[in-house]
Each structure stands twice: as structure tokens, then as C-alpha cells.
Structure 1
Amino acid sequence: MKKWLIASALLFGQGFAQQNLSELQNEYQNALKTAPKTTGNTTWKSLMDRVEELKNQTPTPEVLRLRANIYSDVKWWIKAKTAWEDFQKVGNLSADEKKRYSEALHNLAFTAAHRNEPNLQEALQYAKQAIEVTPDYYPARYLLAETYQDLGDYSNAKNAWKEVLDINPTDSKAQYFVNVGDRLSRFGPEVNQAFVRGYSAYSENQKTEALNLFKKTTELGPEFTEGWRYYARTAFELGDVKAALAGYQKLSELEGQTPENTYWLNYATEASQYGLEAVKAYRSGYTAYQQKNLKGAESLFKQATTLSPNYQKAWAWLGRVRYEQKNYSGAVQAYMQAVTLDPEDDSSEYYLKLAKNRK
């Protein structure tokens, strides 16, 4: 009689627990559709409280799976990590569940690496765990490479970037750091960390933050050419012509007058004299001229002279495109400005005379 009562109680308890689980699973599905996935939302708070209570009563694989999914959905990463660990002890994770487990580990790694006082060893540990769970989990592979780079472990960083490329051969950042890693290795972890973070900010279009980090890179490693290159490039893109000019001047000192350095140094020099927008208009006009778009080129050269009335080259080219369109009076006007600004411009002087004769 006693054994029967115990068995009946157990069966009743199991049935009650199964009913609670079914109700909780239904409410979970509704919450996915209707409630914001945050720890502060009352619906999700209720789900978390009740799944914890059910887990303490009957920690079946189904309960533990639901618990892990709930914590992953609200992005409570440390709880999600523990919950997936608990489930893994009693059940087999599907491919999707492994990715959710790796996502939690990756986010813990990211937090460790990017808090005010980073713990890079902790970040490394979590990233490795994420990869153990899901070997092809791209974000964890990426963070692992970045963390090795920050630590100044250049050999492991290079290997980790290569593994990123195995997953995504088109990843430009991984390609870049595989190639630049040997050069970076000569400047130490502080330069490395500043540059890697600057490059990440630049890749994410956070240009102001990137500029500050590249500036720090040049201060810590004044001979590191890539730091100057990206400092100048980012400054240019932010419209800081003075910083861009200083960057390209230093880069030219370190690398010499390569075609690329000469192009950008000239660009920055002109921008400092005539203004960045005027130089952009002028160079766009020259591109339009090369494409035989004379009307477009004329409009852009005119824009450049309006933005910067002392821009002699823009006046000379404005005269040229007008002359080629047989607008000789307009050509005379433009060439006269060019010659006034630079009396030694023999070409403009010559075409000014031709245009006057054809008016």
C-alpha cells in the first residue's frame, strides 16, 4: 500500500511538472512573438523565475534546454553560458544550440576584451571555449585573432587570422593583418593594441574614434608607417586637412616619394591651400574630362573656382574645357583669371591668345 502511494505521488509530481513545462513552453513561444527580449521585461522576468523554479524541481533535459534558450534570448550571457553548460551535461546540443552556446561565450569574451580595464586572458579563454563548441563560429575566431594581436602574440595572431580567412576568404581585415603582422611585431603590444582597435573602429565607420587611436599609434610607434597611413587617411575622410597633411608628410619621410604617397601628399597640400571641397570638385572635374564628359567637367571646374577663387589650376582647366567646346568668350574669361594668378603659366597665356582671336 505504501509503495503504491509513493509511486502514485511520483507519477502525479511528474505529470504536474510536465504540465508546468508545457505551459511554460507555450508562454515562451508567445513571448518570442510579442515581448521585447530584455531582462527588464516583466514577461521574460516571469519566464526566468519560473524556469529556475522548475529546474530546481525537475532538471530534465527539456527544462534545461528551455532555460538556456531563455537566457540566450534576453542576452544574459553569463547565465546563458551556465545554462548551456548544464544542458550539455544531460543532453546533446543541436548545431543551432551549439551556436547559441558559442554566442554567449563570444559575448563574454568581447566584454572582457573591451571593458574599461580589459582582461585579455579572460577574453582569450572565452573565445577558445566558443571555438571548441563551434569550430567554425566566425565571430569567436575573429575575436581570438584580435585578442592575440592585442597581447602581442604575433605568431598565434597570424595563425588565427589565417583561420578567419579559412571561413571567410574575402575578409579584408584578416587579409590585411596576415600581411602586416610581421611589420607590427617589431613595435610591441601597445602599438599593436592601439592600431588594431583603430583599424576595427575604422572598419565599423567610427572614424573619430579611429583617428584618436591611430594618433595614439603614431605617438607610441613614430616609425610605424601603417599607423601614419591610416591616421592621414582617416583625417582626410573626416575633413581634417591639417592632420592629413602632417600624416602624409611623415609617411613620405618614412617611405619616400612613392607614387601613392606623392598623390596623397599633393592632394593634402592643395586642400590646405584651397580647401578640401574645392580640391574634390577640381579632381572630380579632371576625372569627368578624362571620360570625355566636357559639360560635367566644366560644371565641376566652375564649382572649384567658386569655392576657391584663387585656385589657378581650376581656372586653367575651366578655360580648356570651354575652349574645346568652342565657348571662346568663356575660355577667355577663365584663362585671364589663370594668367592673372600665375603670370608664368605659358600654356594658359598661349590659349588665352587663341581664344581671343576666335571670339
Structure 2
Amino acid sequence: MKSALNVLLTAALAVSGAALAQTAQSAPAPQAALAPTNAAQLAAEARDLAARARAAYPAGSASIDQPLWKQAAERAEAAVGAAPANPDILKLRAQIYTEVGFWKQAEAGWRAYFALAPVAAGQNEARAAGNVQYNLGYAAYTRGQATQAAAYFKACLTLDPQSVPCATWAARTALESGDYALAQTLYAQALSLAPQDKSLNYFALVARNAGTYGPAATQAFSRAYASLDAGRRAEALAGFQEAARSAPNFPEAQREAGRLALELGDTQAALSAYQALTALPGATASDRYNLALAQEGQQYGLKAVQTFRTAYSKYAAGDRAGAEAGFLQATGENLTYAKAWAWLGRVRYERKDYAGAAEAYGRAVALDPNDKSSAYFLKLAQQGK
């Protein structure tokens, strides 16, 4: 295991090269002027400074730029300089760099430690080193360096086979690279660890169907999903649209584009997506509902239509007062929305507000003379019966 881990980490370093320049930071150098020079005492000071840093700074904010953490790393480097063959001190240095997210220094630190103290995959030290590989891999992925990212994620899984993030992103990288067989294997591994994860189940299905859509559409879709996860919704919509253009038979790309367009209030984009989607085999009742929503939204405005549909849901649930308020709001959002006027007339008529019902039904009939139902109830409301 010692040799396997050493080979693994060495290979990952060789792949990464100088890829992860950490904002012009450099590792704290051993301080020749630091006193005392006893390795054990320097290590004790490093541990004490790290403990003080954890107490002083907000949880999850650890950074090499924070003075206490910087001093802790300096003491650890000095301790290693004084006792380079002491595995406990090497581990301390690696742990400090890992905790502050100084990933390249952490990687080198764990490699030095494993050279002296072999560990089995899944042990605490291996899992910590695996987390370092994951973060290096994710950084490479965000830079578009798929080969490097894949190597890091593979290294992570060798160190920590139970890591769901590593299995997930190893699978995602394989999927985007067009290695669909590997992607399916890795998604199966990830699902064995997190079988209820909806995103994993979703992408496992995408991986199974990816050969049908091709690498360009699959990569665009995956990147769009990552943008969506990061909250960049406009960017995500553009990505889903790109995937749909590359593979018009890609239902999930059309569905995600339509859904996101509705959220963003872009009814034209939603209409285009749902029209394409409902023409494909396997379109659902929800897809057809959203197509109707987009069509009606184009005519009356999406906000008014959504308000109307919310009000209708309240009516169906027996909340007549809430429904009436919603129908009234929808008419205010678009004065030409005949259906909203008709339903406003209905709830008023049902509570025997005949004057109010006549007003609403009158507006509905004026906007849509072919609405025979509204015309009928308008006469009844005018007669007060």
C-alpha cells in the first residue's frame, strides 16, 4: 500500500504540474530566526497556534492568509526542517495545509508523510489526502482541464474509495470527455454510496443515453447543470439551449431549458423548448402543462398567468377567499385576461355577490364575445339569481 499511494501521488503531481497557481501565494518557508530550534517544541507551537486559530476564526474560514494559521504553518515547516524524517511532524504539516485549503502544499505534505508512514486506503490520513486530490481535481475541472481533473479524481478514489464527491466528479468528467462506459461505471459506484441522491440518479440516466446525443450536447448539458448548481441561471439556460441545439432529440436538455426559462420569465425561450419537447416521444403531462403555460404567458404575461394558476389551485382546494384575491390580482396584472375575469365572476357569483359577479362577467364577455358560459352567468348575475 505504501508504494501504491506514493506512485499515485507522484503521478497526480506529474499531471498537475504548475496548474494550480494559488493566487501567487507561496508556502511559508522555514524561518531560520525562529526559536527554539528543537523539532518537538516547534511542532508543539504549531499545534498550539492551530488550536488558537480554530478558536479565533469563524468555522470553515481557515486560510493561510490568517496570521495564526500562517504562523502555525511556519512553525510546522520549521519543525520539518529540524526533523525531516519524523512522520508525526510531517503529518502535522500536511494536516495544517489541508485545513487551510493550501492544496498544492497539502498534496506535497501528504506525499512526504506517506513516504515514511504507509497507510491503507480509507484510513483517516488517506481520506484527508483524498480530499486534497478532490479539491485539486475540482479546480482543474473548473478551468476546463479535463485530463488533469480526471487524474486527480482517480487519485482521490484510490485514497478514499467511499468518497461520494470524488466518484461523482470522476463520473461527470468521464461523461463530458465522451467516455460513456467509464461514466456509467463511476455513476454506479457513486450510487452504491448514495443511492437516494437525485442528481446522481439523474446523471446516471444521462450517461446511459449519452451515446444517442453525442459528446458536444452531453458536455454542454453537464456544464449547464454545474452552472445551475452554482446559481448562474442565465449561463445555465444558455448551456441547456446549446445542448438542445446540438441534439434536438435530447429531451432533458429541452426540459431543463424550458423549466429554467419559465423561472427566468423568458416565455419565448420556454415556448421554443416545450414545443420541441412535446414533439418528442415520452413527453409528459407536466411538459404539456408547461407548454400551455408558456403559450398563455406569451399572450397575457407570465406573471399574470402564474398568479391565475395559483388562484385556481386555491379554488380547487376550497379556499374561495384566496382564489378570489388571486383572480383579482391576475386581472390587475393584465386587464385583457378574459379567463381571469371569468373566474373572478364565478367566485363572486358563488358567494352571491351578484353586482361584483356581473362586473367581472361583463369584462370577460367584452374581451371574449364567444365565451357563452360567461354570457349566461352575466345575465343571471344581472338578475340577481
TM-score by length of 1: 0.90
* AA partner of residue 193 (structure 1): Q
Change (3 A) 1:27 1:62: same
For residue 106 of structure 1, what is the aligned residue in structure 2?
134
Match of 2:129, SS? Answer: helix
Q: Which runs of 5+ in 2 are unaligned?
A: 1-35
Does the 8 A contact of 2:127 with 2:160 survive in 1? yes
2:362 paired with 1:336: yes
3-state SS of 2:370 partner: coil
Stretch deviating more after TM superposition (184-193 or 269-278): 184-193
Cα shift at 1:204: 4.2
Distance 1:87 1:337 in 2: 80
Is the Cα–Cα contact under 8 Å of residues 158 and 177 in structure 1 kept in the other structure?
no
Task: Tell me what 2:77 maps to.
Answer: 52
Answer yes or no: is 1:346 the counterpart of 2:372: yes
**Could you tell me whether the CA contact under 8 Å between 2:97 and 2:105 is conserved in 1?**
yes
Query: Which residue of 254, 257, 262 corresponds with 1:236?
Result: 262
**Among residues 152, 177, 180, which one is paired with 2:206 in the alignment?**
180
State the AA in 2 paired with 1:34. Answer: A
1:43 counterpart = 2:98: no
Corresponding residue for residue 124 of structure 2: 96
CA distance in 2, matches of 1:104, 1:352: 72
Q: Which residue of 1 aligns with 2:48?
A: 26
More deviation, 204-213/166-175:
204-213
Q: Which stretch shifts more, 26-35 or 336-345?
A: 26-35
Task: Report the CA distance between 1:323 and its aligned residue.
Answer: 0.9
Question: 3-state SS of the aligned residue for 1:186?
Answer: helix
1:284–1:300: 8 Å Cα contact kept in structure 2?
A: yes
Cα distance, 1:340 vs. partner?
A: 0.7
Whole-angstrom distance in 2 between the partners of 1:290 and 1:274:
22
Structure 1 segment 221-260 matched on structure 2, within 5 A: 221-255=247-281, 258-260=284-286
Distance of 2:269 and 2:322 partners within structure 1: 31
Once residues 54 and 118 of structure 2 are traced to their aligned partners in structure 1, the CA distance between those partners, rounded to angstroms, is 23
Alignment of 1:107-186 (within 5 A): 107-115=135-143, 118-186=144-212
Tell me by how many angstroms 1:257 deviates.
6.8
Superposition CA RMSD, Å: 2.1
1:61 aligned partner? 87
- Greater fraction helix: 1
How far does residue 249 in structure 1 lie from its aligned partner after superposition? 1.7
Larger Rg: 1
State the shift of 1:232 in Å.
Answer: 1.1
**What's the CA shift for 1:92?**
5.5
Q: How far apart are 1:90 and its partner, in Å?
A: 2.2
Inter-partner Cα distance in structure 2 for 1:70 and 1:256: 53
Distance 1:28 1:292 in 2: 60
How far apart are 1:15 and its partner, in Å? 9.6
Q: Which among 330, 333, 349 is matched to residue 307 of structure 1? A: 333
Measured in 1, the distance between the counterparts of 2:374 and 2:196 equals 48
CA distance in 1 between partners of 2:124 and 2:56 (Å): 22
Aligned residue pairs total 344
Aligned to 1:70: 96
Matched position secondary structure for 1:222: coil
Q: C-alpha distance in 2, partners of 1:40/1:337?
A: 67
Q: For the Cα contact (< 8 Å) 1:113–1:120, is it kept in 2?
A: yes
Structure 1 counterpart of 2:226: 200
Give the unaligned 5+ runs of structure 1: 1-13
The code of the aligned residue for 2:172 comes to: E
Identity %: 36
Selected match of 1:210 from 236, 257, 264: 236
Q: Does the 8 A contact of 2:38 with 2:82 survive in 1?
A: no
Please name the residue that 2:381 is paired with.
355
- Aligned-pair distance for 1:42? 3.4
Amino acid at match of 1:101: A
Cross-structure match for 1:282: 308
2:184, 2:343 → 1: CA distance? Answer: 49
TM-score, with structure 2 as normaliser = 0.84
- Taking a change above 3 Å as real, the CA distance of residues 26 and 260 of structure 1, as seen in their structure-2 partners, is closer
Pair 322,130 (structure 1): closer, same or farther in 2 beyond 3 Å: same
Aligned partner letter, 1:123 = A
| CA deviation profile, 1:35-65 (whole Å, cap 9, x unmatched) | 5632223333333233223213212011101
Aligned to 1:185, what secondary structure does the other structure show?
A: helix
Instruction: Select between 284-293 and 179-188 the one with higher mean Cα deviation.
Output: 179-188
What CA distance in whole angstroms lies between the structure 2 residues aligned with 1:358 and 1:211?
52
